[in-house]
Amino acid sequence: MRFVDFHAAASTCSPSRASLLTGRLGLRNGVTHNFAVTSVGGLPLNETTLAEVLQQAGYITGMIGKWHLGHHGSYHPNFRGFHYYFGIPYSHDMGCTDTPGYNHPPCPSCPRDNGSLRNLDRDCYTDIALPLYENLNIVEQPVNLSSLVQKYTEKATEFIQQASISGRPFLLYVGLAHMHVPLS
């Protein structure tokens, strides 16, 4: 089967993802704009996700990749119906990274002495290094973007193999880092 058309419920990331998981457009589910790194909320907790429904029906559920629907507390994927989560909590361009060759700002190093921070162009204490999570644990920070797709592929393969061995039905939602254009 070859998919040649691409459709989305919204032109931006968070609203489109929220619609995919809830079956409701942003005006109905409350997600009409992208969430920022500093956002304290996420997909409203009164919205039921497909993962929650399937989890209650006995499915093993997993989410691998970019979440971008809230990353604090109850908004984390592990609390929105996913047994397993491996990925970044928001867009890969929303945090600094130490990956050379990427068009992202490098993470500023913090001085180890009591030197003044006023001379720094960027604040090493507030510029957030992009984290990679496995469930509720940060496993890499800053994330190495050059190996991220390979890591996602490996984790997706492991998830499918483990779910197949269990004999239970499963849902695996994969949001690759390069999600804004069709992959060839």
Catalytic residues: 13, 68
Distance, CA of 30 to CA of 44 (rounded, Å): 7
Pairing status of strand 60-65 against strand 84-87:
parallel
Quote the Cα angle for 2-165-49, to 5°: 60
Q: Residue 93 CB: number of other CB atoms within 10 A?
A: 14
Distance, CA of 178 to CA of 145 (rounded, Å): 11
Find all residues with CB under 8 Å of 63, minimum gap 6, and list them. 51, 77, 82, 84, 85, 86, 87, 172, 173, 174, 175
Find all residues with CB under 8 Å of 169, minimum gap 6, and list them. 54, 57, 58, 59, 60
Helix (H) or strand (E) holding 116: none
Tokens 């060759």 -> residue:
101
